[in-house]
Amino acid sequence: MSDQLRAEHGNADPEWALVQLAIREHVNRDVSRYEKMWAYYRNPLELVRQAGAANGGRGWYRSAQEVGLPTRIVGTNEGQILGGERGRREVVIENDIGWRVGAMVDFMFGSPVRIESLARDEKTRDVIEEVLESVWESSGGISLMQDMATLGHVFGHVDLLLRVDEEQLVGARVNDISQWISIEPIDARRGVAVMSPSDYRRIDAYAVHVERDVVVKSTTRKGKTRRLSMLKPQNPRSHEAERNLERSTQRVTELFTPDGWARFEDGVRIGGDAWGLMPGVLPIVHIQNMSQPFSYSGIGEVEALVGLQDELNTRLSDRASRVTMQSFKMYLAKGIEGFGGSSVGPGVVWSTDNPDAEIHGIGGDAHSPSEDSHINEIREAMDKISGVPPVAGGVVKTKLGNLSSATALRITLMSLIAKTLRKRVGYGRGIEQISGMVLDALDGAGVLKTAVGDRGVRVVWGALPVVDEASVVAAGRAKIDLGVEPEVVLDELGFGDDDPGVV
């Protein structure tokens, strides 16, 4: 870090050169990988240029997952002309990854969760829960939590950033705090963590790095380019200014440390300040989707399924090509003049004077049990790796016993339920930590004064979709009959005497 930046931002921050190195490694090594993970999850369509029937062009789109198909299926791109692939066959893409990740997120945050205060005083608990509900709801509420879970499932981890406008928050009313404090999920493509060399769990600094397109003037005085804040030229009546406009890439970095924050554009510091409300606190909470020892990144759900997804799409495309070739009869005519212009259908008469003339039928679909078995085995492997069977998506192929019984569904979805409960621990801890930071900031601003021991919270999760409410109530009554306090039982069931504040 330069001497000027040290003086402005504190000597305790990591070297700016080290931060730049971490960002460069992240962009060159990690971003492309994360983009592939997102592409396999979303499988977005890319518009292509039609090259015409003469070049074999057909279809107006290409799927992202086609990148994993062999050349014998997708063909070759001569001259980099999309839509003009030579040798392209029928392409079938079935995005199994997408619906499996969606099912996991639905099990995780399919219903709202409740953030419960652990303060000793009942009145304080009510105020804290109301304030946290307001902050979470203004930040996105249950949609924010679903986005957080989606990013974590795709990339393996997600970071929560607490943004606080300290100048506006100091002296604000409790009802207005949602304007000056918010919780923002940062996906792995933008967030860069500078880890402590002595502890892999501690973050020394955190950068949010974005490369965005801006409009610049291509030529100005002294040969320098100048950025424009608007697309409109300075002289609307002249087209000369429009011809001088071109796009450029601007690198914007927000750096957060325990001492403060700074904003850089193309490496030049344009703003920043030291923390006043939470000195020594890095406003970042790191959440691993599934824990991975001695690693910053967690374990995502997409990476393990990419190879099987490519194999499934390959076999489905091969089967589509086989069905196309064999489902429709083709004919080989020998010794019949003018047969090429004849149609094939009922009532059509062919005649020839050639006694050796022949017509052979080719094609007709044939059963291929090995192909079907291979496709089913691929799907079963994806079920085992992801823990998401087809019944989680509402597809029931075989009898599962009494489907009205929660026990039967629990046995079928045992792996998915176990993974959901495991991940709720990590996501719940992240929600609790960021909520605690909110209370720390409000206490420092004097908006909501609380003791340190009263700022603890816990997440009360909603019931899983396979829970039988009648069985849950019966189990609660049995506990009360055994002598368990009714308040404890109601708390375990997620009920309370007052409105707890639903996020």
Q: Kindly report, residue by residue over 293-333, the tens digit of the pLDDT.
A: 888 999 999 999 999 999 999 999 988 888 877 766 677 77
Q: Name the band, by pLDDT with cuts 50, 70 and 90, for residue 142.
A: very high
Instruction: Give the residue from 100, 158, 68, 72 showing the smallest Cα distance to 302.
Output: 100
Asked if residue 44 has pLDDT above 90, the reply is yes
Average pLDDT of the residues of the chain: 81
Cα 375 → chain centroid: 27
Residue 180, strand partner residues: none
55/181: higher pLDDT? 181
User: Of 164-168, 196-200, 438-442, which one has max mean pLDDT?
Assistant: 438-442
Tokens 């501690």 found at: 202
Query: Residue 255 is encoded by which pair of tokens?
Result: 């750096």
Is 241 within 8 Å of 233 (Cβ atoms)?
yes
Is 184 within 8 Å of 177 (Cβ atoms)?
no
Helix (H) or strand (E) holding 374: helix 369-386
Is 183 within 8 Å of 144 (Cβ atoms)?
yes
Q: Kindly report, residue by residue over 349-375, the tens digit of the pLDDT.
A: 777 777 877 777 666 556 678 888 899
Rounded average pLDDT over 444-470: 85
Report the half-sphere exposure of 90 (CA within 13 A, side-chain side): 12
Q: Which residues contact 350 (CB under 8 A, 6 or more apart)?
A: 333, 336, 339, 342, 359
pTM to 2 decimals? 0.80
Q: In this predicted structure, what is the pLDDT of residue 456?
A: 94
Instruction: Give the residue from 296, 293, 287 showing the smallest Cα distance to 151.
Output: 287
Is 381 within 8 Å of 308 (Cβ atoms)?
yes
SS3 199: coil
Asked if residue 156 has pLDDT above 50, the reply is yes
User: What is the DSSP secondary structure assignment for residue 289, as one 8-state letter?
Assistant: S
- Percentage of the chain with pLDDT > 70? 76
